Amino acid sequence: MDTNSFPDNNKASANNNRRRIIRTTIIIVLAVAIIALVVSLLTSGPMPQEVVALAGGDEKTNHIEDQEDDICVEIIDEYCDEDIPLDSLRDKDGIYLLVPEGPDYPGGPSALFAFINKTMVYPAQAVKDSIQGRVIVQFIVEEDGSITNPVVVKSSGLNRNQAYSSIFNQMDAEALRIVSAMPKWNPGKIEGKPCRVKYSLPINFRFN
């Protein structure tokens, strides 16, 4: 037996593992970037209510959402083709960042936008000073659909005039209040089984 080949085999195995890790990292980064882009498209338009919350769900919006679902499934399929476990899609706390069947608000996007519009209380000082903005809130949709751990991951005051910081803080707080008041969602699933999924929701504060 030629024992001299062992180091070469170990080196090849290490290189294969390294390539797989790099490939996994690239796919996850691309997945997050694609979903962020789709979410931005979904919420880029003006919104109903006297002082507005989020764009309503129309045929165009629903079509974009269908594309988002296709993207998710395609990415998951690529992982399966590479024999990469779905656990690779979890964060350090074991919460999924992406699943084939994502969580959704009961009644769909239009019901979610209606809830936000109905629930939002636009900060009075922001109305007075004509301040608009966008807050992105990240939260966890638990296995039973409940919403936990809402946090602001992008403040309405990011890179803006800090003379209005107190108003931006009020808008951030209102976005958190809205998310905390949401009813249970339909949970995300893997192979039909509910799982914990991290979700980011943009909430726009706009005037008509």
Of 100 and 147, the structure prediction assigns the larger pLDDT to 147
pLDDT digits (tens, 9 = 90+) for 101-160: 999 999 999 999 999 999 999 999 999 999 999 999 999 999 999 999 999 999 998 888
Number of domains the chain is built from? 1
Which spans in 82-159 are helix H? 109-119, 124-128
Q: Which domain covers residue 120, as residue numbers?
A: 5-207
- Residue 163 is predicted with a pLDDT of 86
Closest by Cα among 169, 140, 138, 174 to 155: 169
Of 25 and 106, the structure prediction assigns the larger pLDDT to 106
Identify the bridge partners of residue 148 per DSSP, sorted by sequence position.
140
Q: What is the CATH number of the domain that holds 32?
A: 3.30.2420.10
Residues 135, 36, 198, 145, CA torsion sign: positive
149 in Cβ contact with 140 (< 8 Å):
yes
